Amino acid sequence: MSKTILIIDDEYIIRWILKGSLGKNDLTIMDASSGAEGIELAKQLSPDLIIMDYKMPDMNGWQATSKIKEFLPNVIVIGHTGYANDKSREEGIKLGCTEILQKPVDLDIWNKIISKYLA
């Protein structure tokens, strides 16, 4: 059975690159361009894994993660951000991110992370 990944990132190019790369792994990949849209899609899809950007215009990714964890407490959320520091990493983990990666993330690393958590 195919696993589902939801990519939540306000940058179209990031979503496009990740979908193109990760889609080669027999995964169903959906994407959202904002935290609010991502929350609604997560409710509909119940994804196995979420890739969550931190900095988005409507709400930050850690806030969206916290809201998603209210109805999908066991979903794996991998945060990624160009604004990582110790404080934001701690906040992300506290609010439900499984792991937080620094942007830009190499596609080989994304594939290893996906394999690690969806094996």
Q: What is the model's pLDDT at position 83?
A: 73
The CA distance from 119 to 116, in Å, is 6
Residue 46 Rama label (left phi>0; alpha psi -120 to 50; beta) = left
Q: What is the model's pLDDT at position 38?
A: 97
Low-confidence ranges of the chain (pLDDT < 50): none
Residues β-bridged to residue 27 = 3
Kindly tell me the burial class for residue 47, based on how many C-beta atoms sit within 10 Å of its own C-beta (0-12, 13-18, 19 or more).
buried
102 and 84 in contact (C-beta within 8 Å)? yes
Which CATH number goes with the domain that contains 38?
A: 3.40.50.2300
Q: What is the model's pLDDT at position 84?
A: 66
Domain tally, the chain: 1
The CA distance from 48 to 75, in Å, is 6
Domain that holds residue 43: 3-118
Would you call the peptide bond into 73 cis, given omega within 30 degrees of 0 as the criterion?
no
38 and 62 in contact (C-beta within 8 Å)? no
Indicate the angle between helix axes 61-71 and 86-94, nearest 10 degrees: 20
